[in-house]
Structure 1
Amino acid sequence: MSSENDLSPPPELTELERRCLFLAAHGRTPSEIVLETDLTMPRVAEAMRGAIDKLGARNVTGAVTRAVRLNLL
C-alpha cells in the first residue's frame, strides 16, 4: 500500500471503477448505482472492491477521499 506522500504514480482505475466511485462520491448507494447504470449488483460490488483495493483504502469513503486527493475523480 502506498502512502499519500510517496512519489509513486496514482493507480489506474477502470472507467467502471471511476464511474462507480464518482456516483458514490455524490451520495449514491450501491442499489442506486445499479439502477442508474443498468449494471448488476455483483458488477458494481466488483468495481467498488477493485477501486478500494487499487487505492489502498479500507472502504468506499476512504477510496473516494483518496481518489479526490489524487485528482482521479
Structure 2
Amino acid sequence: MSSENDLSPLPELTEIEKRCLELAANGRTPADIVLETDIAMTRVTDAMRSAIEKLGARNITGAITRAVRLRLI
C-alpha cells in the first residue's frame, strides 16, 4: 500500500495514458475516448492497460484513483 512517505518513484505515464485516464475519470468509455480524441481503439485500450499496470492497479477505477492521489492527472 502506498503512503505519503513512500519514496518509490512516481510512475511515468505517457501523454496518451494521462489523457485516457482523465477522460475515463470523467465517465468516458473507451468508445467515447476514441470519438473525442481520434485515437484508434487499440491505442486507447493499450494505453489504459499500460496505465493500470504502471500504477499497480487491478482495474481502470483503481488506476484513476491512484493517478489522482499521486497528482498525475
TM over 0.5: yes
Task: In structure 2, give the amino acid aligned to 1:24.
Answer: A
Structure 2: where are the runs of 5+ without partners? none
Give RMSD over aligned pairs: 0.7
* Runs (5+) with no aligned partner, structure 1: none
SS in structure 2 of the partner of residue 72 of structure 1: coil
Instruction: Name the TM-score, length of structure 1 as normaliser.
Output: 0.93
User: How far does residue 7 in structure 1 lie from its aligned partner after superposition?
Assistant: 1.2
Would you identify which runs of 4 or more consecutive aligned residues in structure 1 move more than 3 Å? none
Shift of 1:43: 0.5
Partner letter of residue 7 of structure 1? L
Superposition pairs for residues 25-40 of structure 1, below 5 Å? 25-40=25-40
